[in-house]
Structure formats: C-alpha cells, structure tokens
Structure 1
Amino acid sequence: MLSKQAQDTYIRALKAQGVEIIAGRHQLDPAKAPRYVCRDTPPSRQDQVEIWKLEEKETDVNIALSMYRTAVKQSFLSLEQRIEQIVLVSADTDMGPALQALREDFPDLKLGVILPHREGIKRGTPGSLKNYAHWLRRVVTCAELQAHQFPDRVPTRKKPAIKPKYW
C-alpha cells in the first residue's frame, strides 16, 4: 500500500511540473507456477502452486502511439516551431518497431534512447533500440539522479506532494 501511495505522490508531483503521464493498466489473474523447493532443485511443471499473476499491460503501446502522434503533429508546424528530437527512456525492446516507424516516416526527426541503467550494472544494449536511434546513452549516473530529485515538498493544485522518507 505504501508503494502505491508513493507512486501516486510521484505522479502528482510530475503532473504539477507539466509532465505528461502515459500510463497503461495492470491485470491481476489467478495462475499457476512451479513450486520453489530450493536453489539446487529445478522447477517442475508437475508440481505447481496457485498464484496471483500481476501483469502490466499497454504501457509500451501507449508510449509508442504518443511518440508517433507527436511526430505527426509536428509535421503540420512550420520548421521553426517543430521539435528537434524525441527521447525515449526505456530498455524495452517492444519499442523497437515504434522507433523504426518514426525513423522511416520522419527522417528529419532525431531519435534518442536513454537506457535507465545505473552505473556499474553491466547489461547489453538492445539492438532493436540501438539500430533505430540516432544516439543512445547506456547509463544514468547516481550523481545525475541525485541532482535531479524533486524537493521534499512539491506544490500541486491540491495538497502538496510530500516525498516519502525512504526515497
């Protein structure tokens, strides 16, 4: 419950700063999964337990549509009014086809990708994102994250968004 409240507070703070939130939805369904016995015992499909399977749905599609619609709207503006680039902050390879379509349909629009990885974490670069971006950044440093924190109290239209102590 605290996690949901913290996320809602963060979203309110972002909205108060003029950030557009593109959300999906969550789906909770009963399911079965292999029982965990111990680290050395492989999972068995014959020994399953009932679980709740929580899945995030449609967020990547909504972001892709938003990026594409932004590019379309820009094409109706004068050159001076157009944005220069779209930056995707994600390592989700499902975004590859959206970047490909943007690159092909709007060749003058620069596409950047920031992989939200912290320093010291060694992860591969998703080819589907790298292949269609004009530039790619693999790491967000701890110093950058620290320098761009919200203050402890962010004014909103209603009550202020107050930063939880554990952030």
Structure 2
Amino acid sequence: MQTAFFIDGYNVFYGLLAGTSYKWLDLPSLLHAIAHENDPLSQVAEIHYFTSPVQPALATRGIQSKQAQDTYIRALKVRGVQVHWGRHRLDHRLAPRFVSSEVPASRQDQVAIWNLEEKETDVRIGIAMYQMAARQCWGKPRSEHIEQIVLVSGDTDMTPALEAIREDFPHLRIGIIVPHRKGIGRNPPGSLKKHADWMRRYISPEELEVHQFPDRVHTRKKPADKPDYW
C-alpha cells in the first residue's frame, strides 16, 4: 500500500522532541516502522515536511537554533523528504496579565507583548493532502497511485481537510500519527480520529532512541553533523 506522509514540523518538535535528547530524529525510518506496524503491506512513497524558519532573535540559542534547524533540514532532504516552508508573523498586541493559576485571565488587566505566530502551515498541509488525493483520480497510472495518506499532527485545525478528503475520496485510507510521547497525559484529538481509519496515539522514548540519524549524515555537499547541544 503506497503511503504519503504529511508532517507538521512544529507540532512534532514541540509535542514530541522539545526537552529531549532525540531531536536528531530519523523521521523516514520512524514513519516506515509505524506504517509497517499498522499494515505490513505499507510502503513509504512520499514524505512531506512542513515548517517555518527559526527566528534567531527570538530563539533560545539565537543563531545556533537557526543553524541547527538548517542542518536538520539538510539531513531530511538527503533521505528524500520534501520540505515545505511557511513563515512567522511577529506583531504587537495586548494579552491578559498572568498573576497565578488560581486567578482567571481578565481583559481589564492586560500587558503589551510581542506575539510570534506561525502562519500558513495548516493551510499548506491541508491543500497538499487534498491535491494528493485528487491526483489519484486523474493522470496517473494505477500502479503509481497513493492508497493511504498519513497526517503526523495532533492539531485539530486539520479536521476540515480530513473531512473533505474522506467525503470526496472515500476509497483513500487515512491514518493519524499523534506526535506525543508515551507517558505524557494528553487526550487524543477526537475530531481527527473521527475521519481516520487508524490513529497512533503516542510514540515511545524507545522508538525515538532507535530511530536517530547517525551523528554525521553525508550529503552531496557539506555533511550534516548533529548539533552539539542536541
């Protein structure tokens, strides 16, 4: 079963990898293992990775964070991953002041903040999945058809896209891999599951440890070396 994966890179990083020593994740290897576990006939046909450039001025490690992201992207590309870029928007706004967890937020007590927001990623993923589904109906030999789409995200904003694909292309199998670590108590996104044939609710630390890139990934140009602080 030919399978195409659509990955929300920020959802994976902050939901699965942040605060761990597993950031040098070999996504193609991990996804192949999960797909094969779900159905031994699954074959990885395409992997699409969606993210936005790190903003050094707002990153924890400044330019190092941007360099680490760039290095990881090079490692993904050499493994055949197709990378799609969104953007960030930084703007000034007012937000309720945090006093304590016992004090509710109030519009009567607001402070000025800089708000950094990732833009376009959800829309890009939704459009890409729908276009992929549509292309299976026109212009491709049946032997090259994608038979399964797998979304790697726990973002319920993706629900309308899955609903549209399920309605218009009922023959296409849909899977969900929620990028949550095992042992962290989070409820699975029910609105995503509603439109999926199967859902993987978490990824274990053992899986993350097994599916790591080698410290040096060779590319056609400069090797991609695992960042020291990863």
**Same structural fold, with TM-score higher than 0.5 when normalized by the shorter chain:** yes
> d(CA) in 2 for partners of 1:122 and 1:38?
22
Give the Å deviation of 1:38: 4.6
Counterpart for residue 20 of structure 1: 82
Matching of residues 122-141 of structure 1 within 5 Å: 122-141=185-204
TM-score (norm 2): 0.67
Identity of aligned residues (%): 62
Q: Among residues 55, 67, 71, which one is paired with 2:133 in the alignment?
A: 71
Letter in 1 for 2:178: L
Q: Does 1:158 align with 2:221?
A: yes
TM-score (norm 1): 0.90
Give the Å deviation of 1:135: 0.6
Q: Among residues 54, 57, 63, which one is paired with 2:116 in the alignment?
A: 54
> d(CA) in 1 for partners of 2:174 and 2:105?
42
Give the Å deviation of 1:42: 4.2
Q: Does 1:103 align with 2:162?
A: no
Q: Among residues 119, 136, 156, which one is paired with 2:182 in the alignment?
A: 119
Letter in 2 for 1:47: D
Moved more, 85-94 or 42-51: 42-51
C-alpha distance 42-94 of structure 1, shift in aligned 2 (>3 A): closer
Rg larger for = 1
Per the alignment, in what secondary structure is the counterpart of residue 150 of structure 2? strand
Give the Å deviation of 1:26: 0.4
Cα deviations by residue, 1:4-36 (Å, 9 ceiling, x for unpaired): 221121112111211011232100001122333
Q: Which runs of 5+ in 1 are unaligned?
A: none
Per the alignment, in what secondary structure is the counterpart of residue 85 of structure 2? coil
State the Cα RMSD in Å. 1.7
> d(CA) in 1 for partners of 2:228 and 2:113?
32
> d(CA) in 2 for partners of 1:72 and 1:141?
34
C-alpha distance 162-139 of structure 1, shift in aligned 2 (>3 A): same
